[in-house]
Structures are given as structure tokens and as C-alpha cells.
Amino acid sequence: MIIGSLLATMALAPSPALAERAAPHQPATTVGVSAREYDFALYRATVPAGRVTLVLHNFGEDDHDVQVRGPGGYRSATSADIEPEATLRYGVRLRRPGRYLLVCTKPGHLAAGMKATLRVR
């Protein structure tokens, strides 16, 4: 019985190969981002134009989200809510070089200063 349970749980080990097959061909630039009341902090200041994956972690006590605003009136969709202690991967395509702003669209958060600058070259 014990051996049977053990062999059964051995089958539960995740398959990295499956995850690898799901990876996109063109790697995006990953940017770590922290969110808390009422700040974003970006772990990479500049990225090349193209696909960018924001890896957002909420260190705060409230829900947050993120929207990227940039040159030519660019606005990304708003991400899903990020709960406290949660991490969200959020992909955007930033084609034009320039200065982009990450903002939190929760009521009052941007006014409280929840934004940060990402440069695209």
C-alpha cells in the first residue's frame, strides 16, 4: 500500500519539457516589477523595442493592476488584478522607442503616485 502510494505520487512530478514546448519562439524581455501602496519599482530601466513581459509582484496590502502608456497615445489593456503577495506575468508589445509609463488604474492610485518610467530604445 505504502509502495503503491509512493509510486503514485512519484508520477506527480511536473514536466519541465511540457512547459518548454509551450514557450514562444521570440523571447520577450522580462522586466521585474514590484507594486505596493503607492509605488511601482522597475528592476530594468531600459528595454529594446518589441515584446516585453512584466513580472509583477504585489508586496502591498491592496489589489493593484497595471496599464502601460506610451508614445503616440499608446495604451495597453489593463492587466488583471494582482492580489497581495501574488505574482502576475503580463505581456505587452512596445514597438516605438520612447518613454513609457506604467500606471495603476485602481481609483486614486495613480493620483497617489503609483507610476514608473520604462524607456524603450
Partner 1 sequence: MRTRPMNSTVADWTEDHVRRLFWRAGFGATPGEAADFAARGREATLAFVLDGPGTGAPMGDLVGTVPTVKGQPLDPINEWGHDALWWLDRMVRTTRPLVEKMTLFWHDHFATASQDTPLMIRQNWLLRSRGLGDFHHLLDGVTRDPAMQLFLSLADSTKDAPNENYARELMELFTLGGGYTETDVREVSRALTGWRTKRSRGGLPSIHWQAGLHDTGSKRIFGRTGRFGTQDVMRLVTQHPRHAPFLVQQLWDFFVTEPLDPATRAALVRTYRGSGLQLKPVVAAILGHDALYARLDAPDQVKAPVVHVAGLLRTTGTPITIDSYTWLLNQMGQMPFAPPSVAGWDWGPSWLSTNAMRARVTLANTLLAWGSAPLKPPAGAGNPAWSAEQHLDAALAAMGRPWLSGGSRAALLGLAAGFYDGAKPRQDRADMLQRLLRHLLISGPDAQLC
Site string for partner 1, 48-87 (x = CB under 8 A): -------x-x-x---------------------------x
Closer Cβ to partner 1, 76 or 104, answer by number: 104
Distances (CA, A) of 68 to 16, 91, 103, 104: 31, 10, 6, 9
Q: If binding means CB under 8 A, how many residues of this protein chain bind partner 1?
A: 32
d(Cα 41, Cα 6) in Å, to the nearest integer? Answer: 44
d(Cα 84, Cα 95) in Å, to the nearest integer? Answer: 31
Shortest distance in whole angstroms from residue 96 CB to partner 1: 19
Question: Beta-carbon neighbour count of residue 78 at 10 Å?
Answer: 15
Biggest CA pair distance of the chain: 65
Closer Cβ to partner 1, 39 or 63, answer by number: 39
Site string for partner 1, 14-53 (x = CB under 8 A): x-x--xx--x---x--xxx-x----xxxxxxx--------
Closer Cβ to partner 1, 19 or 111, answer by number: 19
**Those residues with Cβ within 8 angstroms of residue 83's Cβ, 6 or more apart along the chain or in another chain:** 58, 63
What residue ranges bind partner 1 (CB under 8 A)?
Answer: 3, 6-7, 9-14, 16, 19-20, 23, 27, 30-32, 34, 39-45, 55, 57, 59, 87, 116-118
